[in-house]
Structure 1
Amino acid sequence: MNLSEVFLKKINQLIGKQFFKPLLAVSGGADSMSLSHLCYSHGISFGIAHCNFSLRGEESDADEQLIKTWADEREISFFNVRFDTKKIAEEWSKGIQETARELRYAWLETIRANHHFSHILTAHHANDNVETLLMNLFKGTGMSGLHGIPERNNYIIRPILFAAKSDIELYVTLENIPYREDASNASDKYLRNAIRHHVIPSAASFFPHLVRQVSESIERFKQAEILYRIEMNRRMKKLCEQRGNELFVHAQKWHDSEVAAALCFEIFSPFNFSPDQMPQLLSLALKQSGKYVESKTHRVVKDRKFLIVSPLKTSDAGFVLIQEETDQIEIEGASIQFSFSLKPTDISTDQNIALIDKSKISFPLILRHWRQGDYFYPLGMGMKKKKLKRFFIDQKIPLHNKENVWVVESEKRIVWVVGYRLDERFKLRDTTSESLKIELRMK
Structure 2
Amino acid sequence: MHIEEKIYTYITTNNLIPKNCEVIVGVSGGADSMMLLYYLAKYKERFKIKLRVAHINHMMRQEASSDMEFVRQTCKNLGVEFNSLESDVEKIARAKKISSEECGRQIRYEFFNSLANTPTTKIATAHNANDQVETMLMRFLRGTDVRGLRGILEKRDNIIRPILCLSRDEIEFYCKQYNIEYKTDSTNMLSIYTRNKLRLDVLPYISKHINKNIVHTLLEHRELYKEEEEFLQSYIDICIAKYVTYDSSSYNIDLIAFNLEKTYIQKKLILEVLVKLIGTSYNISTKHVNIAIQFVNSASSGKKLDFPAEILLIKTSHSLVFTNKHIAPITTCSLQLGDNIFKDYTITLTKLKNISKTLLKPHENVYTKYIDYDKIKNGLQIRSKLEGDTIKTPNGTQKIKKIFINNKIPLHKKSQIPLIVDENNVIYIVGYMINCDYYINNQTKNVLEIKYKSHTP
Counterpart AA for 2:169: S
CA RMSD of aligned residues (A): 4.3
Alignment of 1:17-416 (within 5 A): 18-44=19-45, 45-57=50-62, 59-113=63-117, 118-205=121-208, 206-234=210-238, 247-250=253-256, 254=260, 259-267=262-270, 270=273, 275-276=286-287, 294-296=305-307, 298=312, 309-310=320-321, 350-352=341-343, 400=385, 404-405=415-416
> Shift in Å at residue 351 of structure 1?
2.5
Larger Rg computed on CA atoms: 2
> Shift in Å at residue 245 of structure 1?
7.2
Counterpart AA for 1:163: L
Counterpart AA for 1:295: D
C-alpha spacing 1:101/1:401, structure 2 compared with 1 (3 Å): farther
Matches of 2:33 and 2:303, distance apart in 1? 50
Matches of 1:71 and 1:268, distance apart in 2? 41
Matches of 1:400 and 1:284, distance apart in 2? 31
TM-score by structure 1 length?
0.62
Matches of 1:24 and 1:252, distance apart in 2? 43
Matches of 2:344 and 2:254, distance apart in 1? 29
Equivalent pair of 1:147/1:221 in contact (CA under 8 Å): yes
Matches of 1:354 and 1:288, distance apart in 2? 33
C-alpha spacing 1:286/1:220, structure 2 compared with 1 (3 Å): closer
> Shift in Å at residue 158 of structure 1?
0.7
Query: How many percent of aligned residue pairs carry the same amino acid?
Result: 23
C-alpha spacing 1:75/1:143, structure 2 compared with 1 (3 Å): same
TM-score by structure 2 length?
0.60
> Shift in Å at residue 35 of structure 1?
0.7
Q: Deviations over 1:130-162 (max 9, x none)?
A: 111122222222332122112112322110001
> Shift in Å at residue 401 of structure 1?
7.2
> Match for residue 10 of structure 1?
10
C-alpha spacing 1:261/1:398, structure 2 compared with 1 (3 Å): closer
Equivalent pair of 1:52/1:61 in contact (CA under 8 Å): yes
Q: Deviations over 1:33-90 (max 9, x none)?
A: 1111212333545222211121113x00111122122222222222222223333334
> Which stretch of the first structure deviates more once superposed, 199-208 or 263-272?
263-272
Matches of 1:177 and 1:84, distance apart in 2? 29
> Which stretch of the first structure deviates more once superposed, 129-138 or 116-125?
116-125
Q: Deviations over 1:339-358 (max 9, x none)?
A: xxxxxxxxx99334689xxx
C-alpha spacing 1:287/1:201, structure 2 compared with 1 (3 Å): same
Q: Deviations over 1:324-375 (max 9, x none)?
A: xxxxxxxxxxxxxxxxxxxxxxxx99334689xxxxxxxxxxxxxxxxxxxx
SS in 2 for 1:195: helix
> Match for residue 436 of structure 2?
none
Q: Deviations over 1:215-265 (max 9, x none)?
A: 2322232222121122345567788899997644349964xx6x4245335
C-alpha spacing 1:298/1:32, structure 2 compared with 1 (3 Å): closer
State which of 430, 440, 443 in structure 1 corresponds to 2:454.
440
> Match for residue 365 of structure 1?
none
Matches of 1:208 and 1:131, distance apart in 2? 15
C-alpha spacing 1:401/1:98, structure 2 compared with 1 (3 Å): farther
SS in 2 for 1:295: strand
Give the unaligned 5+ runs of structure 2.
Answer: 275-282, 329-338, 347-380, 388-413, 418-452
Counterpart AA for 1:61: S
> Shift in Å at residue 213 of structure 1?
2.9
Give the unaligned 5+ runs of structure 1.
Answer: 319-347, 356-395, 407-438
> Shift in Å at residue 26 of structure 1?
0.4
Equivalent pair of 2:273/2:322 in contact (CA under 8 Å): no
| Matched positions, count | 333
Matches of 2:141 and 2:167, distance apart in 1? 22
Counterpart AA for 2:34: M
> Shift in Å at residue 278 of structure 1?
5.5
C-alpha spacing 1:25/1:398, structure 2 compared with 1 (3 Å): same
Matches of 2:244 and 2:113, distance apart in 1? 38
Matches of 1:120 and 1:240, distance apart in 2? 32
